[in-house]
Amino acid sequence: MNEQNPFLTKYETPHQTTPFNLIRNEHFEPAIMEGMKRQNEEIDHIIQNPEPPTFENTLEELEKSGELLGRVTTVFSNLMSADTNDEMDAIAEKMMPMLTAHSNNITLNDNLFQRIKAVYDQKDSLHLDEEQKMLLEKTYDGFIRCGANLSKEDKEVLRKLTTEMSLLTLQFSQNHLKATHQYELAVTQDQLEGVPEHVINSYEQNAKERGKEGLIVTLEAPSYVPFMKYVKNRELRKELYMAYNTQCTHNDGLNNLDIVRKIVNCRLQIAQLLGFPTYADYVLKKRMAENKENVFNLLDQLLEAYTPTARKEVERIADMAKEMEGPSFELMPWDWAYYSNKLKEKEYAINDELLRPYFELTQVKKGVFGLATRLYGITFQENKEIPVYHPDVKAYEVFDKDGSFLAILYTDFHPRKGKHAGAWMTSYKDQWIRNGINSRPHVSVTMNFTKPQADKPALLTLSEVETFLHEFGHSLHGMFANTTYSSLSGTNVYWDFVELPSQFMENYATEKEFLNTFARHYKTGELIPEELIERIKKAANFNVAYACLRQLSFGFLDMAWYTRTTSFEGDVEKYEKEAWQKTQLLPTVDGTCMSAQFSHIMSGGYAAGYYSYKWAEVLDADAFSLFKEKGIFDTETASSFRKNVLSKGGTEPPMELYKRFRGQAPTIQALLKRNGII
């Protein structure tokens, strides 16, 4: 088996990248089993060391353990998001309880914990550097947060709960993916009045991919978003809106409502077992926000600041709808995108279709890569010798300004069966330094952009350009990593700090100097006209307050689920509507339920952490205001941002890193100013 299983031999690929071309589904299970076996041997070696516990023979050895297991599970979990299938789903269901048990066996191993504690107890006399102190602190605290101090009986309870949790989150995620891909709405040409030709062509492509005739609309973003924005037929908009917003609420084997209850209750039980009143208290102890009071303070502050403007925005859209449809027209959620688009066109003479021809994906990629070159001096070169997991994926070698190898970057841009919705950055290999060798990272950005068509390349919306910049910002955080320990490198930071590098990059999307570097008409090569950029700038804050309240609604919903002190047995839909009521400016619709498909807070890493997007927005507006002051391509400021934020990972408290870059703590003022609220 060893010769045939690519995970169990040294990778003979450029930069030892993952040999996707050799990996088959049948390789995962034996490699995972072997990985667990090897890590158990490594842990035993640490415990049975007759020497007294030291930082080197305990903490560093633990950090190095599990290399094979990490390698396999990283590839497996990333492909579960980007390119899964029924066979992989079945492997995940089988392996997940074993992997959870394996993880528990390490964190609940008292002999191992006593060695870690012995080092921790003498930390003040060990002369550790900042990064070593952080690794010790994070490891010791991590063991306690995973139940190391519990009684034998409580440890067994925790094992059961964590195993149940891993299966529930997997089931939630699989149900949502299947529900998204199962749905299709067959439409006819005459029902698509007002819809741009390329969107209609994409619906034709959807049908062909499903082996059908005609036009098919799906719930994937490049299909759903333009439908809601352009389709004049209100009943059809309502039909698609209801399909999207009732995912995983039907009695079709993919219902997540009971799973939501179980996930919320399971997390509460885990938190209370570990001595915390709520799951939010447990989570926020390891966040910049520190506690739920600070989170609610931010959400409430933003709600108060943005609500008056948001109400005016809704009134303007409602007036526009009445002007078009008659005075008795009541604006409903399925009308919002359609009439917003009409008003935006009227007021700013701008829409997605006007901009698309200037945002051809290849050019956008050149622009985004070129921005990194201009700020940091790094360059990108595609290497077709590096194996990829799907024909859509491209692999790039990234070189630093001195020409040295910096990282591998994979890009994966378009939706397909087996790929989750949304956009994310991930890592196939973290960065670390060992024996004087700086082993560089392999990172990936995955998105679901408008696909190319037979007669047209992939033409993006401005929103898709922003998404690209966002995920690319995460990738820079990964690529610039320069730390000793992989568990502290790159994006291994507090969750409410991780969005700063990504959201910071979004600021460039509406900057004229940046757009002029790449935004050319895909047919004529003409540079984007200056007056079009002016219109983009003027429209930048269009409905910004409504969008803020939408984000706040998700933050309040998240906190409502995870600040509970008692288990939940009620109606999920009803509870949700009460939780975010103060943020809702349009009529609520019976039967719709976000929680049943809210992967971020149910199966992702954002439970009690969705506020992070707004928290980081305060940081990114404040950080970019310095670039606006010094020049948006100022290399000195960029160098400071790289040195103090992007390369440091989780080696120091994030606020200290931020203040070192910015010279002061952030305030909400820069965000309010950017959004035109003050």
Q: Give one DSSP letter per residue of 388-412, joined into a string.
A: -SSTT-EEEEEE-TTS-EEEEEEEE
- In angstroms, how far is CA 614 from the centroid of its own chain? 14
- Annotated catalytic residue within 471, 499, 511, 573: 471
Residue-wise pLDDT tens digits, 484-528 = 999 999 999 999 999 999 999 999 999 999 999 999 999 999 999
Q: Residue 455: what pLDDT?
A: 86
CA–CA dist 30, 231 (Å, integer)? 50
How many helices (H) and strands (E) the chain has is answered by 27, 9
pLDDT of residue 3: 59
Taking the domain 357-540, which CATH number applies? Answer: 1.10.1370.40
Residues with pLDDT less than 70, the chain: 1-3
Q: How many other C-beta atoms lie within 10 A of the C-beta of residue 260? A: 26
Identity of the residue numbered 197? E
Predicted TM-score (pTM) of this structure: 0.94
Respond yes or no: is residue 471 known to be catalytic.
yes
| Domain ranges (residues) in the chain | 6-149, 183-245, 357-540
471 in Cβ contact with 427 (< 8 Å)? no
Question: 3-state class of 429 per DSSP?
Answer: strand
CB atoms within 10 A of CB 584: 13
pLDDT at 667: 86
Measure CA of the first residue to CA of the last residue in the chain; give whole Å.
Answer: 65
What dotted CATH number matches 6-149?
1.20.1050.40
